Amino acid sequence: MTWPTAADLLETEEAISFVKETFAKVLAQQLHLVKVSAPLVVLDGTGINDDLNGIERPVGFPIKALDEQRAVVVHSLAKWKRLRLFELGIPAGKGLLTDMRALRPDEDYSAIHSIYVDQWDWEKHILPEQRTIPFLKATVETIYGALKATEEQVRKRFGIAPILPPTIAFVHAEHLLQRYPNLTPKQREHEAAREYGAVFLMGIGGELSHGEIHDGRAPDYDDWSTRNEDGHRGLNGDILLWNPVLETAFEVSSMGIRVDKEALTRQLELRGCSERQSLHFHRLLLADELPQSIGGGIGQSRVTMFLLRKAHIGEVQVSIWPEAVRQELAEAGIALL
């Protein structure tokens, strides 16, 4: 076992900064995004915070200066970004990019999961006629191009050989179910990522032919219920890469075309939460006051971990870990930041 030296750790910190700065710059240029500030907390009860799968508890606290009104630490900025597009008057074809910091205390620890989340959260104003699968795929290919461009810069700077395939594949969750009917969703993702190297798995959140969903999605940001040109439902998905260090599928982004008022109404009903229509965000959307948009989150620690070939997310971010995990990783020569 070789324990990392202070010089090794410093080089890692420099590499982390390089990856984050390079990718953010390329992504903003390619998607025509402007960098904006973002909140760490939002007021509770506004419908702005991301509900993720609907069961995760946000970190909350009362604010003395607001008569004890409660605020919650964001899970992500999925709905806040769309509001911000409206507030800033960003025109169609352009969007915003922000550094999102979140706390998810209900997250289960693993080599790729921490209670601290850092993402590039982005949102782009689109035209109603761009709510299509071809436009979604073109956007995914642009993001993948930014990943490959960053990987090439990492090669030049740090000598790490590129491994991403030339192109990203597109597969619907229903197709994957038909190919591997006896596997779990995560096992199906594993097979797809291993086969293609990079895959965009579409239609996550909507019911598949066996009556179940591939994975959970909140009802009020991604459109996972609209029937698309491919004959399936969903205008969203996840970018999955094959991680050779961990030898598994590796999700780096969840994204999609956002709900319009018809999809919002339908998805709230399907999830049994139509009462959300009275919340601020939802009222604006149902009144056609918010722009049509596409957006998503791209994991900063995930991308950095992948491009630097790290075995644990704690090698590229500072978080809180159980002592048993620290000890186990120390014995394997892995130093957490």
Tokens of 9: 């750790």
Tokens 């409206």, residue located: 86
Give the rounded distance of the alpha carbon of 219 from its chain centre: 16
Question: What's the CA gap between 89 and 107, in Å, rounded?
Answer: 35
> For this structure, is 107 an active site residue?
no
Catalytic residue (one of 104, 131, 217, 233): 104
Catalytic residue (one of 76, 130, 254, 301): 254
> For this structure, is 104 an active site residue?
yes
> For this structure, is 251 an active site residue?
yes
> For this structure, is 50 an active site residue?
yes
Catalytic residue (one of 174, 220, 222, 238): 238
Task: Say how many C-beta atoms besides its own lie within 10 A of residue 217's C-beta.
Answer: 28
Question: What's the CA gap between 173 and 87, in Å, rounded?
Answer: 35
Beta strand pairing call for 169-172 and 198-202: parallel
> For this structure, is 119 an active site residue?
yes
Instruction: Determine whether 175 is exposed, middle or buried from the number of CB atoms within 10 Å of its CB (0-12, 13-18, 19+).
Output: middle
Task: Say how many C-beta atoms besides its own lie within 10 A of residue 333's C-beta.
Answer: 11
Catalytic residue (one of 70, 251, 276, 277): 251
Whether 314 and 337 have beta carbons less than 8 Å apart is answered as yes
Which residues have CB under 8 Å from 182's CB, separation 6+? none
Catalytic residue (one of 50, 121, 123, 315): 50
Question: What's the CA gap between 74 and 99, in Å, rounded?
Answer: 12
Catalytic residue (one of 76, 119, 292, 301): 119
Question: What's the CA gap between 171 and 174, in Å, rounded?
Answer: 8
Which residues have CB under 8 Å from 243's CB, separation 6+? 193, 249, 250, 306
Active site residues: 50, 104, 119, 238, 251, 254
